[in-house]
């Protein structure tokens, strides 16, 4: 009998079953990594579109193998998103366009499913535990996407000092017991 994904090569209803069984976990996966429900929905759609196109390439037999295959596609989509994101945001800003949006209630529901409110609270507590210089460096480099040389010039220190602050801050955040939740 095999997995729904395996059966979907010849049965389109089986792909629907595969989608229904996995869509919520994929949305949560993306929401927890991007912290943006709209982006998570877009990436989920892209992931399932790729899975549908490539379903005949799947060689596994079990649902667990199908899920692993799907999440490999999801990780690839996330990697592509991070690489293209900066360029796309700049292009949209240049022409003065905003991407289409999803109703606020839908976004809140997705954020709840992904546990973002609690994750945000834990992140705030963890950030509060950092040294102020590290917290500032992490926020400016990671959240604001500022370059090391820009931060170094602002702070009047070398790029190596800024890199060290960011690195130490990220290590401290990773080690924080409050942020060790798995997706």
Q: How many domains does the chain have?
A: 2
Mind giving me the DSSP string for 156-175? TS-HHHHHHHHHHHHHHHHH
On whether both 137 and 171 belong to a single domain, the answer is yes
Mind giving me the DSSP string for 49-99? HHHHHHGGG----SHHHHHHHHHHHHHHHHHHHHHHHHHHHHHHHHHT---
On whether both 82 and 17 belong to a single domain, the answer is yes
Per-residue pLDDT of the chain in tens (183 residues, 90 and over written 9): 578 888 887 887 888 899 999 999 999 998 888 878 888 889 999 999 999 988 888 888 888 999 999 999 999 998 888 877 655 666 666 777 766 566 777 777 877 877 888 877 888 888 888 898 998 898 888 777 788 888 899 899 999 999 999 899 888 888 876 554 443
On whether both 23 and 76 belong to a single domain, the answer is yes
CB atoms within 10 A of CB 10: 9
């Amino acid at each position: 009998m095999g997995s729904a994904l395996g059966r979907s090569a010849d049965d389109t209803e089986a792909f629907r079953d595969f989608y229904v069984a996995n869509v919520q976990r994929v949305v949560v996966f993306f929401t927890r990594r991007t912290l943006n429900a709209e982006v998570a929905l877009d990436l989920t759609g892209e992931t399932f579109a790729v899975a549908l196109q490539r379903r005949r390439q799947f060689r596994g037999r079990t649902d667990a193998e199908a899920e692993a295959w799907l999440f490999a596609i999801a990780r690839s989509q996330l990697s592509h998103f991070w690489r293209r994101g900066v360029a796309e945001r700049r292009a949209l800003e240049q022409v003065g366009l905003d991407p289409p949006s999803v109703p606020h209630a839908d976004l809140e529901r997705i954020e709840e499913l992904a546990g973002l409110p609690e994750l945000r609270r834990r992140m705030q507590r963890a950030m509060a535990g950092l040294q102020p210089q590290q917290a500032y460096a992490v926020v400016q480099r990671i959240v604001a996407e500022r370059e090391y040389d820009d931060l170094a010039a602002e702070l009047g220190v070398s790029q190596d000092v800024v890199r060290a602050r960011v690195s130490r801050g990220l290590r401290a955040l990773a080690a924080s017991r409050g942020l060790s939740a798995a997706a």
